Each structure stands twice: as structure tokens, then as C-alpha cells.
Amino acid sequence: MSGIEELLEQQRVEQLLFLEARLIDERRFAEWEALWVEDGIYWVPANGDDTDPHSQVSLIYDNRSRMHNRVERYVGGKAISQQPPPRTVHLVSNVTIEPAASDGTVDGDVSLVVHSTVQVAESRPGVRVDWVGRVIYHLVEREGALRIVFKKVLLVDNDQELTTIDFLL
Amino acid sequence: MSEVGDSSSSAYERLIGTDRVSGRLYTDPDVFERELERIHHRSWMFVGHESEVATPGEFVTRRLGRQPVLLTRDDTGAVRLWSNRCPHRGATVCALDQGHTRFFRCPYHAWTFDNAGALVALPGEEGFGPTFDRDTHGLAPVPRMDTYRGFVFGSWSHEGQTLTEHLGNARDLIDRVCDVSPVGEISLRAGWLRHRIGANWKMAAENVCDFYHPPITHGSSGLMGGVPPGYFTDAHGGVTRDLGGGHGEVDYRQTEGGSQTGLGPHGFIFPNLFIEAASIFVIHPVSVSEMTHLQTPITWVGLPEKMQRPQSRRFAMAFGAAGVIEPDDAATWERMQLGLQAGEPEWVMLERGVQFDHTGEGRALDEIAMRGFWRHYRSLMTDEAAVR
């Protein structure tokens, strides 16, 4: 890959991450869901970064159906913890792209492993919390666009007592 | 001067009525300090499960009331419970949540203890003189520890009720959750989710046996979809039970189809343990307006995977700081904590089904177990307990 191609790829990946952050902060959840492939996994481990999600508790381990339930709940008008909804601002930084994943391709498409950092400012009545973590994405190209296959958020304090997380990280 | 004003036993008798309690019991820091002294630092409290320290050398750290403790399994296989505090200068001897070790070494002067609590090494021991006795400088055991079917309980009080006496009728809850397993055994090794909530610990305790709230508070969760119509009504046929000793349960076994929400019972063991069908919750008091809610899924030893899987999936969706059930409970309790800053009206009401109190058993949505909680609380916060 030439230097120019690398720059373009970096730009393309960053634009996806920035768009995802913006869609969350603007509560455009249907558009957020459209960034994902059907078999996507959104994972926020607890009690460390390298736990087994099938035998150890996680803060979030969502397949697409659960992601859908989660955001439906945010906008469904019944959730007490969304009255009023928490306001968030995501700051995305430190975006680096690993060369094609060791498993090469997914379904014949280009697969990228992207590392980034995120700081999420959360505000709700009487509460102001900053959430900070590293994020690992697996991205795949579908119909000419990058889509999210896997998103793992490694909160810096995931082994501590945490207040409610009723928003997307 | 306390908000309660008069901290005497008779003042508390006035604050805790049969069908109402004063809102100040959730907001007054002096009440919280008295609770620590008379409940959390005196009563039997659930601290952990033997399966969390399954093999010699395993340990977990916890709080028992406000005090740090260390649960170990020593090299002989015995489960032990210690103050997590160096007997020399007071630093915690273990900073990790869990792990495996033969020795705990204090970071300050390297006094080193084995997992049976004995002081086994210290630098420059000769400087302490010939009369220095290692045997009197070991880790301090929590004054009383006992177990029931793998559930480990501790008490900071050197005397008082035995664990068997404390559990009373609530032993049945532990029996029933264990007996879901063909070998009568559960395991808690999936780790804990620890949720900090800006509300008084008693709100979580009372909420266990409040079946009036789920269809409202949890209407957004999507998990209500699997519950039959009318499940959370008196007409469905469940009962709520005051088990005495502050313990209580909501029991759906006699209803058509039995419990839809899980395999085990749904009950509260005073003052900090909630057996939630397929999970274990622990309530840690932090301050008058803060608690930590700990949650872990149950694994039943020997139960076929296909019976466990729906339960672990439900846990993953529902609980912890980012679940679809727990945040709505937390938000409700935080709203209560805010609302109760209003001193008028004075009372928080607990009237539903009061006519059944003499039987110990009410309809599914009745507040009978909550009144049982308060009756026991009253006995501990006043001097009633002293004369029992």
C-alpha cells in the first residue's frame, strides 16, 4: 500500500469512528445500527480486558438483536433511567490501523483491526461522569462501505465499582 | 445534632411503625452510623461462597459492612475469613479482588502471612527482642465465620445468635437454590458486576420482595415479553412471605407453570443477600445515600448446559451497571433518595396487604415481607434485641 493509500485508509476509518460517535451523541440509533453487520458483537468486558465472555460476566455482550433491544429501550419512553436521557459527548482519538488481521479476511472482504481511545462525557441530573477506554474494532467492507463486525471497549476502570451505563460507549 | 434529634431507642420505635416508616431512615447520616454499628458490624452477613475459593491458596477480598476482609482457603483446605489489615501498622495485606497465593505480604514492612493467617516472616525480627511472639501477630480472624451449604457468612460480633438461628426459615431459600443442582451444589465463579448506586441500601433490600413494581419499573426491558399476562398480579396466585428475622420471599411455585423468571427461589436474607432465581446479589452499604450492588450468575453443578444457558443469557442482558433491568431499579432508588429529601410527608408507606400480617403470608404484590424486614430492623435498632 502506498503512502497516499494509507492516508486515505486512515481517513476513511477515522471518519467511520467519528460518525459512529456523532450518531450516538445525537441519539440517531437507527443510523448507528446500520453501521453494523448482522452478526456484529458489541462487548464491554468487566473485571479485566481479556476475560472469556462465555464464562465470565461482562458489562455488555450484545449480538445485533440485543443491540437493537438496547437502543429501542433508549427511545421507547418506558425506561426510568432514560427520564431524562443521559447526554453524552464522545471524544475519539489515537486511531491506529493494524495490517490485515491475522485471520486475513472475513467473508472474502478486507478486514481491518482498528485501535482507538474514547472519552465519553456523561451528564444526567446530579451526575457528571467521564468514561475512558481503549476500543478495538474489527471492520469489514460491505457494498463499498466499512461496517463494524466487532467492537470491544476496554474501560480503564472496568474492574472497579461503576455507576449506571445506560448509553452507548 | 442529628436529623432524628433523639438517637435513643425510643426515638427509633417512633420512626418505624407497622405500616409506615419515617423517610429520615433513608437520609440521616446518624441513622446510617447506627445501622453499621448495630446491623452490619454485628449481625451475620453473607460474605462469599466457598466455590469462589475452591482450591487451596485461592482468595477473594470483600467488605463486611465498612470493613475490608480477606476470604482464603488455606493449604489444609479450610475456608478462613480475616480482617484485611496488617496487625503491625494497619495496611491492607491484599490489594487484589481475587487470586491465588500462598503468602500475603504487607507492602509497608514486609510482614508476611500464610493463607492460614500465620505471621511467617518479617525483616529484622531480632530487633523486636527475645519476647516477640509471632503467634500473637498473625492476621486477625473475623470474630465469627460459619457456612451453610457453601454460603459463607461472617459476623464482627464475638457473641450472639448462631448462623443457624440467624438464618431460621431462610435456610429453605438456600436449600432450594442449591437443590436445583442434581448434586445439591452451586458455584459462583463468573466474577461479580459491581454497581455503585446513589441511594440508601435499604431500598435495594426492600425491593427484593416488591412484586408491585416490576411491570412498571421494568416495562422497558424487553424481558417482560416472556412473562405470561397477569404474572405480576395477585390473581396469578403467587404469595409473598415474611420468613421472620428480616428475611422474606416471593413464591410462585404453586402457580400455573411455576416461576417463569428462573430456576431458584426469589428471596432476601437479612441484611445483604438476595437470591434472585438464577443469580446472587449482595448489597453493600457505602454511605447513607450510596450503596454498591454486586451481582453474579449462579452455575448449578451437574445441571445440563441447556438448562443453564437461558439463565446466563438473561443475566448478561439484565444485570450490572449496563443491563436492561438493573439501571431502572437504580434510577428509581436514586429518585427515591432525592424525593425523600422532602421532609413532608414524614412517612414512607407500606400498607398493602397489612390485613394478612398475622398469617405471615400475603398476596404476590403485598408488602408483607417488607414489613417483616422493618420489624426485624426495628428490633436491632432499638434495645428490643438486647432483651431477647
Residue B6 pLDDT grade (very low, low, confident, very high; cuts 50, 70, 90) = low
Question: ω into residue B68 within 30 of 0, thus cis?
Answer: no
Q: Examine the domain organization and report whether B228 and B83 are in the same domain.
A: no
Q: For chain B, percent helix, then strand, then coil, each to nearest 5?
A: 30, 25, 45
- Asked if B359 and B235 sit in the same domain, the reply is yes
List C-alpha distances in Å: B260 to B169, B170, B215, B226, B231.
24, 21, 14, 8, 9
Predicted pLDDT of residue B388: 43
Q: Is B309 within the bounds of a domain?
A: yes
Q: Between chains, do A78 and B220 touch, taking CB under 8 Å as contact?
A: yes
User: Among residues of chain B, what percentage have pLDDT more than 70?
Assistant: 95
Domain identity same for B230 and B367: yes
Q: How far apart are CA B321 and CA A129, in angstroms?
A: 14
CATH fold of A3-155 reads: Nuclear Transport Factor 2; Chain: A, (3.10.450)
pLDDT confidence of residue B263: 85
Q: Does A163 sit within 8 Å of B328, measured CB to CB?
A: no
Residue of A nearest to B319 (CA): A59
Distance CA A28, CA A38 (A): 18
Position B85, amino acid? R
Q: Are residues B139 and B169 in the same domain?
A: no
**Same domain, yes or no: B211 and B336:** yes
Q: Is A68 left (phi over 0), alpha (psi -120 to 50) or beta?
A: alpha
Torsion of CA A106, A110, A113, A117, to 10 degrees: -120
Both B215 and B313 in one domain: the answer is: yes
Tell me if B220 and A76 make a contact (CB, 8 A cut-off): yes
Final residue belonging to a domain, choices B97, B117, B148 = B148
Is B97 near chain A, with CB under 8 Å?
yes
Nearest to B251 by CA among B263, B265, B261: B265
pLDDT 10s digits, B187-239: 999 999 999 999 999 999 999 999 999 988 888 877 666 788 888 999 999 99
Give the CATH number of the domain where residue B88 resides: 2.102.10.10
Do B62 and B173 lie in a common domain? no
Please work out, in degrees rounded to the nearest 5, the angle formed at the alpha carbon of residue B62 by the alpha carbons of B59 and B63. 155
The DSSP annotation for A80-147 comes to GGGSSPPEEEEEEEEEEEESS-TT-EETTEEEEEEEEEEEEEEEETTEEEEEEEEEEEEEEEETTEEE
Q: Which of B148, B177, B199 is the last residue of a domain?
A: B148
ipTM of this complex prediction, to 2 decimal places? 0.93
pTM: 0.94
Q: How much is the average pLDDT of B1-27?
A: 84
Q: How many structural domains is chain B composed of?
A: 2
Task: Spell out which residues of chain B touch residue A55, defining contact as CB-CB under 8 Å.
Answer: 189-190
- When pLDDT is cut at 50, 70 and 90, the band that residue A100 belongs to is low
Report which of B202, B148, B205, B203 is spatially closest to residue B177, judged by C-alpha positions: B148
Residue B348 binned pLDDT confidence (cut-offs 50, 70, 90): very high
B255 in a domain, yes or no? Answer: yes
Nearest residue on chain A to B324, alpha-carbon basis: A70
User: Is the CB of residue A157 less than 8 Å away from at least one CB of chain B?
Assistant: no
**pLDDT of A102 strictly over 80:** no
Report d(CA B269, CA B210) in Å as an integer: 15
The answer as to whether B360 is a domain residue is yes
Name the residue with higher pLDDT: A100 or B248. B248
B143 shares a domain with B191? no
Containing structural domain, residue B89: 47-148
CATH assignment at residue B334:
3.90.380.10
pLDDT at A86 over 70: yes
